[in-house]
Amino acid sequence: MLILCRMLNFSTDIFDVIVCGAGPAGLKTAYDLLRQSNGKISVLLLDRKDPWKEPVICAEAVSVKALSKYWEIKERFVRGPLSGIYFVSPDGTKAEFYRKNCGLQLNRAELHRDIFESAKALGVLFDFRTRCVGISRTESGFWNLEVENQGNSQILTAKVIVDATGPGNKLTAKVSELSELENGKTDLEPAAFAIAAGIEHSREHIELHFGSEFRSGYGWVVPRDGVEVNVGLVLGKESKAEGISSRKALENFIAKRYPTATIKGFYGGLVACGQSMRPLAKSGVFKAGDAASCVNPISRSGIVEALKSGTCTATSVLEWLNAKNDSEKRLAEKAAFERWYALQGKTHLHIAHAKKAFGVIPDARLNRSAHRLATLPREKRTLWKIFFEVLALSPTLIWKMRSFLRS
């Protein structure tokens, strides 16, 4: 591994791009930058820990179709196939959606390793013992990045900074020039999960639990290896104002539904579960992944969304680097948002408008809907059928989703 003392050898050089954060968005950005440029630019990838270090805060379930569009599926990072979802109402009624091998249980840490090794083969420079502290402008118009490594500080310089550090706007918050950028704080919601054994579950299904206890969010059980499961929840942002702890809510959920569970460990964090219209790039600084609030507002899925964001970001950064003047650079920065919005952001904006209405559907209505769905033959329980069944529970939800339904 390239360590910081060796990075000092580059201290008089200017990197073309420094990518801060080696989650899926940062990894994919670095990989696509080198792939699309045929390795002709210098890309430095930084994080404070190895990207494959577990636990990775995630339910680790994805659609086969969605993932395969943005990364080749390999056995090394797949725990097993998924063929269905149990939608579980507050009274425990299960409505099943089934489609053989429609999804995957991921080992996300190994997915990260796979993307990194591909980027490394293309020539990415990297250090995974480095914390990105903040950025400031140089007199020449580039960016200085302050980093810390094992208690030592250093300044690195780049033409472009990609902020893939996750939600919360930690890297750019103090730069007034960048105040209008997306801040990664859109609908910040608390999530918690545990690795647990002793929970009876289907090896090929995930469970999604809904009801008022989740405060506009939901709970989940995702199989891992036939013995352990990932059990967790995400709560609506209003839970913070109500003083509700996601860890305590998860403990209560497990105690109520799975009293015989053996917990191996609890983990948690915040998820940016919204979509704003704020720009994603300015003055050579680009936002990607959770730092760009790219998580699906209702499903809270973020793996494939992060890969999409990385691809969009890399394309826009290369346009910026190839720009002949400031006007072309501004167009490349504008395109960063437009590219994401066309690919995913517009859909996210529609469903974000509906999230609040979905979250206030009474438990009794959710139970009745689950009862009706459970009586249908399996082949008629399509995702669209389940979706429209839920829509029927709330006229407000239908109104909020009207633009999405017309598109």
- Tens of pLDDT along 58-111? 789 999 999 999 999 999 999 999 999 999 999 999 999 998 999 999 999 999
Both structure tokens of 176:
């007034």
Residue 35 pLDDT more than 80?
Answer: yes
Least confident among 234-238, 240-244, 249-253, 255-259: 240-244
Residue 268: phi, psi to the nearest 5?
Answer: -165, 175
> Tell me, what's the pLDDT at 378?
86
Write down the domain spans for the chain.
4-53+110-185+274-353, 61-106+187-272, 357-406
180 token code pair: 């209008």
Residue 56 is predicted with a pLDDT of 65
The pLDDT score that the predictor gives to residue 66 is 94
For residues 312 and 305, give the distance between their C-alpha atoms in angstroms, rounded to a whole number: 11
**Is the separation of the CB atoms in 29 and 291 below 8 Å?**
no
pLDDT, tens digit, 9 for 90 and up, residues 349-390: 888 877 777 778 889 989 988 888 888 888 888 877 777 776
For residues 332 and 190, give the distance between their C-alpha atoms in angstroms, rounded to a whole number.
Answer: 34
The answer to whether residue 5 scores a pLDDT higher than 50 is: no
Work out the pLDDT band at 393, boundaries 50, 70, 90. Answer: low
3-state secondary structure of 142: coil
Band (171; pLDDT cuts 50, 70, 90): very high
Angle at 248 between CA 246 and CA 249, to 5 degrees: 60
The band of 165, judged by pLDDT with boundaries at 50, 70 and 90, is very high
Residue 6 pLDDT exceeds 80: no
Determine the CATH number of domain 4-53+110-185+274-353: 3.50.50.60
Alpha carbons 71 and 146: distance in angstroms, whole number = 32
In the structure, what pLDDT confidence band is assigned to residue 287 with cuts at 50, 70 and 90? very high
Task: Name which of 406, 368, 403, 395 is nearest 95 in CA terms.
Answer: 368
pLDDT of amino acid 394: 54
Residue 273 pLDDT: 87
What is residue 54's predicted lDDT score, i.e. its pLDDT?
66
pLDDT given at position 376: 87
Which pLDDT score, from 0 to 100, does residue 391 have?
Answer: 63
Please give the span between the terminal C-alpha atoms of the chain, in angstroms, as a whole number.
48
Q: Are strands 43-46 and 125-127 parallel, antiparallel or unpaired?
A: parallel
Residue 399's pLDDT is what? 42
Q: Containing H/E element for 405?
A: helix 402-406
Q: Give the whole-angstrom CA distance, residue 107 versus residue 224.
A: 8
Give tens-digit pLDDT for 333-352: 999 999 999 999 999 988 88
DSSP string, 193-236: EEEEES----TTEEEEE-SGGGTT-EEEEEESSSS-EEEEEE--
Average pLDDT over residues 38-66: 89
For helices 108-121 and 24-36, the axis angle rounded to 10 degrees is 20
The domain over range 61-106+187-272 is classified in CATH as 3.30.9.10: yes
CA geometry: angle at 222 spanning 251 and 255, to 5°? 20
User: Residue 73 in contact with residue 93, Cβ under 8 Å?
Assistant: no
Mean pLDDT for the stretch of residues 222-249: 90
83, containing H or E segment: strand 78-88
3-state percent breakdown (helix, strand, coil) of the chain, nearest 5: 40, 25, 35
Over residues 158-178, mean pLDDT: 92
Q: Which residue has the tokens 């390239």?
A: 2
- Predicted confidence at residue 405, as pLDDT, reads 40
* Whether the domain at 4-53+110-185+274-353 and the domain at 61-106+187-272 fall into the same CATH topology: no
Give the number of other Cβ atoms within 10 Å of residue 100's Cβ: 9
pLDDT of residue 123: 95
User: ∠273-274-277 over CA atoms, to 5°?
Assistant: 155
Rounded to whole angstroms, the Cα distance separating 403 from 164 reads 30
Q: What is the pLDDT of residue 381?
A: 84
Q: Which helix (H) or strand (E) holds 338?
A: helix 326-340
User: Is the separation of the CB atoms in 355 and 216 below 8 Å?
Assistant: yes
- Share the mean pLDDT of the chain: 89
Checking if the pLDDT of 25 tops 80, the result is: yes
User: Which residue is listed with tokens 């995630």?
Assistant: 58
Give the mean pLDDT of 297-319: 95
Cα separation, 190 vs 24, whole angstroms? 20
> Residue 152, SS3?
strand
Closest by alpha carbon to 200, among 247, 249, 252, 257?
257
